[in-house]
């Protein structure tokens, strides 16, 4: 405890770090306040029907991602998911379309152009999703007199503009946190929204255990223990690495190497971090979004509106595995690693430099990514099993799934950022080892 308070004191001694943390907290406060500002023309006291709709199924997940803004009919109701969807499309275009491939190779100027295209695509998606949200809002509140003061065309147009501006403002906040704050802005805002729903979920489970399903305090304690175990497993997944030995020469004369020192390349089992699960979840939201945020009816939409169903979880797991391989390929470049080793007089014992080293590293990454992606997919679908075992719908979402993995990944990443500032200025880190393993370079958002 003494070490903890000492570390907090050291954090506020560093002016740059102190200002970054305070600025980040300020932006988060703005984000949370915005989640409670209701759209003009909507009575905030008459939203019980909308809250009931978002208490179950995929819409409850969407509401959690927005930090409750969706069920509040807030100006931030659509959250950041439209930007995530646009990012998926642009990154997939980078694989198939030569124009985007060329932009990726142009460095900083190309990155700025890609970001601009992503923003325009985000606006296009919002101009489709916002009217759908407003139509669903009308349907849910149609039997509540006075819920919407004036539901005419002006309300639709003005609300569409406000919802679009709200999401773009969240994007701006995220970028400011990345540039001026502690980093990982978009991911951090998603995490804050998830944490904001945790007290409501815990309260709902408390009511379920003591008033409805029964079991009382004992069952609730067992659930919390299981949640802690899953949390530890998620941390282990984020931090797990395989070390590849590399022999470096101390002295090189001509073509001969004299002496040497052995070092290791730590290759993460889950090099893609939480990005695959965020992107997979964004795609899983698309069917219900195109259905106008309504889960009524049958067939395809109904199957993908129930996050406890087989087809929803099967598709979700497959998407996570695919995106894990995709992001690993984006973030880990075996050829670049092999070239860097060669330039520094290094080699992997038993493997020839050059193409053989590239093939070896690529093979290792493929082998360790498969179990990592499967483990990630299993943790992601655990909420479905928790729900089937009688856990409250909202609380079940924290038994693994997108929520828990995002919490683990972003918290470790943020702590790593803070610790790097402390160690750089010769202060003790947040742990005795002085090393917190975050998601590394996987902060594409």
pLDDT (tens place) for every residue of the chain, 445 residues total: 566 667 777 777 778 888 888 999 999 999 999 999 999 989 888 888 888 888 777 888 888 888 889 989 999 999 998 998 898 888 888 878 888 888 888 888 888 999 999 999 999 999 999 999 998 888 888 878 878 877 688 899 999 999 999 999 999 999 999 988 888 888 889 889 888 888 888 888 887 777 766 667 788 888 888 888 888 888 887 778 878 887 776 555 455 554 567 777 888 887 777 788 888 888 888 888 777 676 665 666 777 777 788 888 899 999 999 989 888 887 788 888 888 888 877 888 888 888 888 888 888 888 888 888 898 888 888 888 888 888 887 788 887 667 887 888 788 888 887 877 777 766 655 555 555 555 443 333 4
Beta bridge partners of 257: 252
Claim to verify: residue 209 and residue 136 sit in the same structural domain: no
**Could you tell me the maximum CA-CA distance found in the chain, to the nearest angstrom?**
87
Around Cβ 74, how many Cβ atoms within 10 Å?
A: 25
Burial of 130 (0-12, 13-18, 19+ CB in 10 A): buried
Claim to verify: residue 225 and residue 162 sit in the same structural domain: no
Claim to verify: residue 163 and residue 238 sit in the same structural domain: no
Give how many domains the chain has, as a whole number: 2
| φ, ψ dihedrals at 311, nearest 5° | -70, -35
CATH number for the domain including 108? 1.10.3370.10
Distance of CA 360 to the CA centre of its chain: 31
Residue 6 placed within a domain: no
Claim to verify: residue 286 and residue 409 sit in the same structural domain: yes
- How does DSSP classify residue 38? B
| φ, ψ dihedrals at 277, nearest 5° | -75, -35
Instruction: Tell me which residue range forms the domain holding 73.
Output: 12-181
Residue 160 placed within a domain: yes
- HSE, side-chain direction, 13 A CA sphere, residue 426: 0
Q: Could you tell me the two tokens for 388? A: 């089937």
Claim to verify: residue 267 and residue 172 sit in the same structural domain: no
Claim to verify: residue 331 and residue 438 sit in the same structural domain: yes
pTM of the full predicted structure?
0.79
Q: Could you tell me the two tokens for 437? A: 């393993």
CA distance 328 to 97: 20
* Selection from 389, 1, 407 nearest residue 232 by Cα: 407
């Amino acid at each position: 405890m003494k070490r903890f308070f000492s570390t907090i004191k050291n954090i506020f001694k560093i002016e740059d770090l102190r200002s970054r943390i305070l600025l980040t907290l300020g932006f988060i406060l703005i984000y949370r306040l915005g989640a409670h500002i209701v759209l003009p023309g909507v009575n905030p006291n008459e939203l019980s029907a909308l809250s009931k709709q978002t208490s179950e199924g995929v819409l409850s997940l969407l509401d959690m991602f927005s930090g409750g803004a969706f069920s509040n009919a807030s100006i931030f109701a659509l959250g950041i998911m439209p930007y995530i969807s646009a990012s998926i499309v642009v990154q997939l275009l980078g694989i198939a379309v030569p124009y985007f491939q060329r932009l990726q190779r142009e460095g900083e100027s190309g990155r700025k152009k890609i970001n601009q295209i992503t923003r325009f695509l985000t606006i296009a998606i919002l101009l489709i999703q916002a009217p759908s949200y407003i139509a669903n809002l009308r349907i849910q509140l149609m039997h509540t007199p006075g819920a919407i003061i004036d539901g005419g065309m002006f309300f639709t147009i003005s609300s569409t503009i406000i919802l679009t501006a709200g999401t773009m403002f969240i994007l701006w906040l995220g970028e400011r946190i990345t540039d001026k704050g502690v980093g990982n802005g978009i991911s951090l805002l998603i995490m804050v929204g998830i944490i904001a729903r945790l007290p409501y979920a815990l309260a709902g489970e408390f009511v379920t255990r003591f008033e409805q399903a029964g079991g009382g305090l004992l069952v609730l304690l067992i659930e919390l223990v299981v949640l802690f175990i899953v949390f530890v497993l998620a941390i282990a997944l984020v931090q797990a690495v395989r070390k590849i030995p590399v022999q470096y020469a101390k002295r090189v004369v001509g073509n001969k190497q004299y002496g040497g020192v052995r070092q290791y390349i730590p290759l993460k089992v889950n090099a893609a971090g939480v990005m695959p699960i965020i992107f997979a979840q964004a795609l899983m939201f698309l069917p219900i979004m195109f259905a106008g945020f309504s889960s009524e009816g049958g067939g395809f939409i109904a199957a993908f509106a129930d996050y406890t169903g087989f087809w929803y979880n099967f598709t979700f797991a497959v998407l996570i595995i695919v995106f894990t391989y995709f992001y690993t390929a984006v973030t880990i470049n075996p050829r670049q690693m092999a070239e860097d080793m060669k330039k520094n007089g290094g080699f992997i014992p038993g493997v020839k430099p050059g193409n053989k080293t590239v093939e070896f590293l690529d093979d290792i990454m493929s082998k360790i990514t498969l179990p990592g992606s499967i483990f990630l997919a299993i943790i992601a679908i655990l909420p479905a099993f928790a729900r089937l075992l009688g856990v409250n719908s909202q609380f079940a979402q924290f038994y693994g799934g997108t929520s828990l993995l995002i919490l683990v990944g972003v918290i470790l990443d943020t702590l790593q950022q803070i610790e790097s500032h402390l160690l750089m200025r010769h202060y003790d880190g947040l742990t005795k080892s002085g090393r917190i393993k975050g998601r590394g370079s996987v902060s594409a958002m």
